[in-house]
Structure 1
Amino acid sequence: MKFFFALAAAVLIGIGFVAQQHAAYREPLGEMLHLKLLSHLARNRLWLLGIAAMVCGQVLGATALDESDVSSVEPILATNLLFALVFAHVLYREPLNRRVWQGGILVTAGSGLFLAFGRPHAGRPPGPESTRWLVAAVVVVLVVFLVLTARPRSLRTKAMLLAASAGMLWGVQDVLTRGSLLVLGHGVGGLVRSWLPYGMILIAVVGLLLAQSAFDAAPLRISLPAATAAEPLIGIILGILIFYERVRTTPEALAAMVAGLLMMVGGIVVLGRSPYLGKRETVETERQR
């Protein structure tokens, strides 16, 4: 049953990403990184359906995780990138060449390999006042740096950097969500007085804005892979540093995790080099006609 839930979650998340990107890609480039982009998208039925599909997928994923361990479920959830590429192919009627398939498979297989052999477990949860949360703040600072770096870049590079930033914030959101649930276990009053749920909501909104800005800049095969790879990596790293979770450190596990990382990076590079027609290039071509 856990396999069914995880696979259904991956399908719904993939559909959600495609619907969001299809709507965001039609918004003006001048709205990137502005809340105006989200306010306009919130009036788009297709985008709202995409958000609903993604939320349902995340709920199913959480159900699967509740029935099993992370190492057996997360690799299946990572296949959402492949489903997204297939749905984008059906929607846009664009050919999926060998390079796109190679990149998508590398990112997905690399994520699965890293998660399956890392197997984070146990740990010692921090309190809301713990200084361990400063590690999450460091990730946020790094995200700010990436966003500032992305502004003067080409659409292709900008989309990849913004997507990576969104994925990193989703990783932060994951640990804040877990921290909030732990506080909730001691009573609703403690959760209301804690900064964790408010930080989680803020990070979620900023992550959503960065993701939609990436979708606004470039097709899905350019704008999604970096986010898909960044979220589980940051989530595991923060889980180790904040929750003191442990990962397997046998020579085989370490070799597999390194191989998984290299595969993810290689897949992102392959997808980043795949030919595509950006919005500015499309406008220039139409004017020449």
Structure 2
Amino acid sequence: MTSATERPEPQTPESDRSASLPRRVRLIATDLDGTLLRDDKSVSERTVAALAAAEQAGIEVFFVTGRPARWMDVVSDHVHGHGLAICANGAAVVDLHRDGLILEVRPLERTDALAVVEALRTAAPGTSFAVELTNGIHYEPEYPPFHLDPGATVAAAEKLLSPDWASADQPVLKLLAHHPRLTPDAFLALARTSAGDHAFFTRSSPTALLEISGLGVSKAATLAHCCAQRGIAPEEVVAFGDMPNDVEMLTWAGTSYAMANAHPDVLAATSARTVANNEDGVAVVIEQILAAQQS
């Protein structure tokens, strides 16, 4: 790590020399895993300094992630003025200044979630499911266990989504589906074909793990909503990402950067590039933005 006082001068990654910075930036939207965070889930001192400098310059920073609110401790110490995050791929807007208090929810209706379960059990036998609620995650016996959530209920998805279950009053943020044999992209394509009229499908894991939200719910949709509330136009937003669940956000933002370690779909959706997450690619661009605004 590089200390804040010894932070390197802004540099332009070789692959990014042709990218033009927007004239006015009012908001930076960044994914976390594989983007802002290094592979060890840390935030480098250089990145911490860049985030603070952006907010001091009047640029809001939104963390936009597939993570649930309870897993935001990795960045909670680096939130400055606004304190908001978009979690669960757009299903929740969270106030990190108030211990991850959920301010807005865009749920997946249980009837649609059950329809997805039925469709995938038929189209991809061997699929197992987890249900992410506002009060935590619960999963089937065959689903890879979440060691960070020891209090999860283990039961069939049909029971977890039943109106008679104890947590039936809690909104469903995401349904997750795992397959032990299919490749990640093949599983995603199959799911979209078999159940795409019931939910929005994406993925961010290197394994065949799908993240399933309500129709019309994505990082992009919730970010657009939050920006509209603030009078911020898409062309005033710079976004960063690395995986398929970032594509809609990167396409919506006026300027978007794919990390050097990004999935091919992300590289195809963006015209600008930055260096990899382990090389502080987000910080590199923030430094360029601030230098350009000061010149």
> Greater helix share, 1 or 2?
1
- TM-score with structure 1 length normalisation? 0.27
Report 1 or 2 for greater relative contact order, CA contacts < 8 Å, sequence distance ≥ 6: 1
> Greater strand share, 1 or 2?
2
